[in-house]
Chains A and B, each alone.
Chain A
Amino acid sequence: MFDTLTLASLPADDAGLRTSIRALIARHIAAVPLERRARSWQGFDAGFSRALGEAGFLGLTLPTAYGGGGRGAFERFVVVEELLSAGAPVAAHWIADRQSAPLILNFGTEEQRQTYIPRICRGEALFCIGMSEPGSGSDLASVRTRADRTADGGWVVNGQKIWTTNAMHSDYMIALLRTSGTAADRNAGLSQLIIDLKAPGVSVRPIVDLTGDAHFAEVFFENVQLGADALIGIEGQGWAQVVAELAFERSGPERIYSSVVLLDAWVRHLQEVGRSDAAPLVGRLTAELATLRAMSIACTARLVAGDSPVVEASIVKDRGTTFEQDLPEAIADDLAAHPDEAISDTLYRTLLYVTHIAPSFSLRGGTREILRGIIARGMGLR
């Protein structure tokens, strides 16, 4: 079962990518406190994203003709691993780089590619994903927000999206909208449109989360007029396009490293106080991380081989988020099992930040239960 998912090696880093991205990260995050770095891919810094673009680290796998790096998925793995393990603030470009640009490359017109991809690669065009709605979470095929054709061949959009990460900072949204029929028609009649968030009729209301951050938002559309060129891909094929897009979203190493800044901080604490009774727990978490990393590289190898490893990506994501969620729980127990040992403010704040945000790890990008359903279908159960 899933026989192609086997141990794969990262090719030698001939281009010295790791060294150069490390140097760039070190310059930018030296002054960023630990608990901010624990934001991982929710940390927003548009300046840092532009610096990455300037240095050629955005759009790494995209063709050079569109300003991309013309490299492979393994190289992207290396760069993403460095960014995430350092806790670099990557949110500004994350979605555009990970899924919007590949989506535009795969399904967009030549004009759309020329318009958006070079700017994404420079870190100048920021994107968000408008899938979820108040009535459509896991049941994404039930979306109601509509785009209707206008007399001049353009579109008019009405409705609402919610939980849209970074909508308030983004230039564009790629939205999944109903272009024909009603919510009862399910995945027939859905299309993807690129919405300029500065267009009249769009309003964005940030939503504050339980840690005090506001990384996602509600987005309202009231008679938003778009040109004919807003449609991306084929009208009515939005569902199939979204499924392909989610394979990109789910297969990356960000599904194992969300809590790694905390893991490092805790290990440093243990080393500083010279405590060895936590070795079994350190060992368990290290073994899990090493195995997950190899699983994620194995999944990357499937992308390199030209597969769309949808089920494999779900396997890595579900196991990865389980690890990311277990980590703060286990560390909290270890630390509080030593009530006479002082811990620093930053470690404490980092621990509590990760503890509080951790439930979101198995919600964003598809919930645990939904992913396990995908895996079960992949096993031949239905």
Chain B
Amino acid sequence: MNELLEPFDRMLEALVTPAAVRAVEGGASAVAMWRELAASGFLDALVDEQHGGAGLSLADVQPLIAAVGARAVPLPVGETMVARALLARAGVPIPQGPIVLATSAVSGQIVPCAQVAEHVLVDTGSGLVLTGIGDLSPVATGVYHALAARLVWTGPIVGLALPRPAKGLRPIAAVLRAALISGAAARLTDMAARYANERVQFGKPIGRQQALQQSLAVMAEDMIAVRIASQLGCAGGLDVGATVAAVAKSTASAIAARVANTAHAVHGAIGISEEYDLQLLTRRMHEWRAADGSEGYWNTVLGGARLADAAGTVDWVRAQVPV
């Protein structure tokens, strides 16, 4: 574990226990948890040094976002890191509370963590606007223990305006989701492998059954694929292009549901119970898969760009998705 990740993950382990996650999901205040996260200084990881941040690259921060995913943190940590960096870059004063990203200019979109956010950075298509979350009247979705909310507005959004990145907010948001999925996939793979070695049926650990071994092997492949795809998405810095975002999020979204399903299959009934921690991660996998464009959305974006170019596929990939 690198020297950045180790203290960050240690903090999460102490602060964001499964019990604490359940409490926030159940409606308890997340203010104290947020205060500690903010006090750690990590929220300014992506803010330039001249604005008082750590000046880290998105690639440096990818393992931290993955750790947020692995621990099912019930707050928009990655989104706030990105928003704070964009606000600092624009010279706009940075508010203290959690910030979510609204990547569609259309009212009615469902935004993860919006119930626990204080602010929202909206991509209106022509610019970015930072506004109080209350102004967009967040409505809980009614899904059990989900912290996402529907944001609804009429008329123009009033708030602090800042320049829009060339490709808007959706590519960077998609890359954040891919990193969250990558962390959760790693955790789910560990949990499933451990459980398979412990649970005994027919007189031996279920992990000795070849049928389970084969699907756990595919799970490990998925876990590695999303790790690498997520790192690819973060490799080029904050101004994420649509093409690398598409590779990262298409891969991540496509594996999210599959990894969640295999984790449940291996765990049997215990994994379905509220009391067991698996569901904290698997419910989020489905939320992140859809957030800021599913694999279908990003495949269309990527395919459109590919079809517009006469190069051979490998040459195109080498030029557009540099490694």
Contact = CB atoms under 8 A, between A and B. Distances in A.
Given A283-B250, A380-B193, A298 B303 contact: no
Name the prevailing secondary structure of the B interface residues. helix
Contacts of B190: 1
Contacts of A294: 228-229, 231-232, 321, 323
Contacts of B197: 380-381
Contacts of A1: 186, 189-190, 193, 220, 223
Contacts of B214: 369, 372-373, 376
Contact of A287 (B217, B302, B304, B316): B302
Contacts of B196: 381
B299 A284 contact: yes
A281 B303 contact: yes
A264 B143 CA distance: 44
Contact of B225 (A6, A286, A291, A379): A291
Contacts of A17: none
Interface string B161-188: 0000000000000000000000000100
Contacts of B315: 85
A381 B215 CA distance: 12
A280 B305 CA distance: 11
Contacts of A207: none
Q: How large is the interface on B (under 10, 10 to 19, 20 to 34, 35 or more residues)?
A: 35 or more
Interface in B207-240: 207-208, 210, 212-214, 216-218, 220-221, 223-225, 227-229, 231-232, 235
B232 A291 contact: yes
B228 to A, nearest CB: 5
Interface string A258-284: 001001100100110000101111111
Contact of B317 (A5, A280, A289, A382): A289
A280 B299 CA distance: 5
Contact of A279 (B225, B251, B304, B321): B304
A204 interface: no
A376 B218 CA distance: 9
Given A260-B313, A295-B228, A373-B213, A282 B193 contact: no
A334 B231 CA distance: 31
Interface stretch (A7-15, A39-47, A98-106, A160-168): A7-15
B43 to A, nearest CB: 25
A376 B212 CA distance: 9
B208 A379 contact: no
Nearest to B317: A290
Given A7-B228, A280-B299, A287-B299, A379 B313 contact: no
Interface in A323-352: none
A380 B216 CA distance: 11
A375 interface: yes
B229 A267 contact: no
Q: Which among B217, B251, B306 has the highest number of chain A CB atoms within 10 Å?
A: B217
Interface in B277-323: 295-296, 298-304, 306-307, 310, 312-318, 321, 323
Nearest to A317: B221
Contacts of A312: 224
Interface residues of A, number: 52
A284 B186 contact: no
Nearest to A82: B314
Q: Which among B189, B207, B298, B313 has the highest number of chain A CB atoms within 10 Å?
A: B313
Name the prevailing secondary structure of the A interface residues. helix
A341 to B, nearest CB: 15
Nearest to A312: B224
Contact of B250 (A7, A284, A292, A375): A284
A3 to B, nearest CB: 8
B213 A283 contact: no
Contact of B301 (A263, A283, A291, A319): A283
A196 interface: no
A267 B315 CA distance: 13
Nearest to A295: B228
A279 B231 contact: no
B116 interface: no
Nearest to A10: B323
Contact of A7 (B210, B231, B295, B307): B231
Contacts of B73: none
Q: Which among A6, A81, A292, A379 has the highest number of chain B CB atoms within 10 Å?
A: A379
B224 A283 contact: no
A155 interface: no
B302 A375 contact: no
B140 to A, nearest CB: 32
Contacts of B247: 286-287, 290-291
A376 B217 contact: yes
A315 interface: yes
A9 B228 CA distance: 12
B246 interface: yes
14 contacts: A5-B227, A267-B306, A267-B307, A280-B303, A281-B299, A282-B303, A282-B306, A287-B251, A289-B317, A294-B229, A297-B323, A375-B220, A376-B214, A381-B196
Interface of A: 1-2, 5-10, 81, 85, 257, 260, 263-264, 267, 270-271, 276, 278-284, 286-295, 297-298, 312, 315, 318-319, 369, 371-373, 375-376, 378-382
Given A289-B317, A290-B247, 6 more contacts: A85-B312, A282-B302, A287-B251, A287-B299, A294-B323, A297-B323
The list of the 4 closest CB pairs from A to B, nearest first, reads A283-B303, A279-B303, A283-B299, A283-B302
Interface of B: 186, 189-190, 193, 196-197, 207-208, 210, 212-214, 216-218, 220-221, 223-225, 227-229, 231-232, 235, 246-247, 250-251, 254, 295-296, 298-304, 306-307, 310, 312-318, 321, 323
